[in-house]
Structure 1
Amino acid sequence: MFKKNINLGGIIIYNLKAELRDKSIKAKKLRRNGMIPATIYGRNLKEPIMLQVPLADINRFLSKASKGNTLTIEVEDKKYNVLFKEITRESVSQQVEQIEFQHLVADEPVNSVIKVVLANRDKNQNLTQQHIEEIPYNALPKHFIPEVVIDLDGMNAGTTIKVEDLDIAKNENIRITIPEDTVVLTVAELKKVIVESETESEPDSEE
């Protein structure tokens, strides 16, 4: 079962119920039965926790969340606070094949990613090219940032946005792990190209 709650601070909390995986059943058979293999790993765990989650719940989760989001996974009578770390998809159908989570410890910095979201695309008539969709960083769980929103409304042609231009670059609680001069997006003028085609009528041929 998948649930999305909002706490008193307005923070979205995702909850996912999972079952311990029967290791004797191969992943391919699990997927045929509508279950997706999942793993929770972490340095503080004795060994990775192998799970299985209904595909329907995974799809509902993915419709709301992305890599870099945190959630609580319930397994039997235990709850694990985790980071959504990786997802594997089948190359052609793009069906989910496997998903990985990292167990979180309050005082342990973790590598994660910030999703880049472009807002108001429809209000900008220029050509916007997004160069990166995620910004990798390192931080304690309490300082995680799931996404950064860039508003395209009123952004002029010729604009270039780099990581260093974003507020997250000034956030002392996180350490961005790519060069801060990395280009996030560029805006160019959208020129209308009119192609004129001339149709010439061929002269009638006489036999």
Structure 2
Amino acid sequence: MSQAFTVKAEARNQVGKGAARHLRRNGMIPAVIYGDKKEPLSIALPYKETFLALHAGGFMTHVATIEVDGEKIQVLPKDYQLDPVRDFLMHVDFLRVSETSRVTVDVPVHFENEEKAPGIKRGGVLNVVRHEVEVQAPANAIPEAFTIDLTGVNIGDSIHASALTLPANVTLTITDRDFTIATVAAPAALRSEEGEADEAAATPATEVEESDED
């Protein structure tokens, strides 16, 4: 499995806001491990290691190893909470996984070769509809990211899910439609010119009749 990080944790018996505040004051962060038909396990993680792992990239798509009381547990981060003001990591939820586990995750979408997209070279704007795509994948083979090549993409073009290259045993969770991932929109100046041209074309010509006065 691709490893995000390995960390030693402490089992915690006390839960609630007061206990969580006490942990954070002591450089720890509350977390919970659940899944695999086992009782949820409340743990405390070292704050610094967990925070650095979160910001190292790929936190939500990499399997981690948490050691609790000598037991090594394979987990996948499923959710985390940040303080909305201080960006302080408050809590993390983990899901137990194994070599045979399949998980549902959001995989980031990256774009390349913007300089080879005629529409963007003409001033078009890449409008990203989905920065992430939800897939089902083996826990030990979650894609790092999907990369979409913009070569040849023009103004007005749309990029759909069918443009993604899915690894073996990885499937999209949305299967009933070829959903849009991004579009290339016309620049504001071009939209304004086209709008004026359309308005002019839609305005009927007015004939002015001159009458002779006796």
Place the TM-score, normalised by the shorter chain, in its bin: 0.7 to 0.9
The superposition leaves residues 97-142 of structure 1 with CA deviations (integer Å, 9 ceiling, x where unpaired) of 1111111122332222212223466885531121122212223324
Separation in 1, partners of 2:2, 2:99: 18
Task: Rate the CA distance shift 1:106–1:97 in 2: closer, same or farther, 3 A.
Answer: same
Separation in 1, partners of 2:159, 2:143: 19
Match of 1:88?
81
Counterparts of residues 52-131 of structure 1 (less than 5 Å) = 52-64=44-56, 65-119=58-112, 125=121, 126-131=124-129
CA positional deviation for 1:26: 1.4
Q: Give the paired residue count.
A: 180
Tell me if 1:183 matches 2:167: no
Separation in 2, partners of 1:67, 1:187: 29
Counterparts of residues 105-184 of structure 1 (less than 5 Å) = 105-119=98-112, 125=121, 126-152=124-150, 155-168=153-166, 171=167, 173-179=169-175, 180-184=177-181
Residue among 10, 35, 38 paired with 1:20: 10
Structure with the largest fraction of helix: 2
For the aligned residue pairs, the C-alpha RMSD in angstroms reads 2.7
76-85 or 117-126: bigger deviation: 117-126
Q: Any conservation in 2 of the 1:18–1:52 contact (CA below 8 Å)?
A: no
Letter paired with 1:166? L
Query: Percent same amino acid at aligned positions?
Result: 27
Structure of higher RCO (CA pairs closer than 8 Å, 6+ residues apart) = 2
Separation in 2, partners of 1:63, 1:156: 35
Letter paired with 1:102? L
Gaps of 5+ in 2: 191-214
Q: Any conservation in 2 of the 1:68–1:115 contact (CA below 8 Å)?
A: no
Match of 1:49?
41
Task: Rate the CA distance shift 1:13–1:107 in 2: closer, same or farther, 3 A.
Answer: closer
Tell me if 1:40 matches 2:38: no
Separation in 1, partners of 2:115, 2:83: 32
Separation in 1, partners of 2:112, 2:46: 32
CA positional deviation for 1:44: 4.0
Task: Rate the CA distance shift 1:72–1:128 in 2: closer, same or farther, 3 A.
Answer: same
Task: Rate the CA distance shift 1:153–1:90 in 2: closer, same or farther, 3 A.
Answer: farther
Gaps of 5+ in 1: 1-10, 194-207
Task: Rate the CA distance shift 1:53–1:173 in 2: closer, same or farther, 3 A.
Answer: same
**Could you state the TM-score of these two structures normalised by the residue count of structure 2?**
0.70
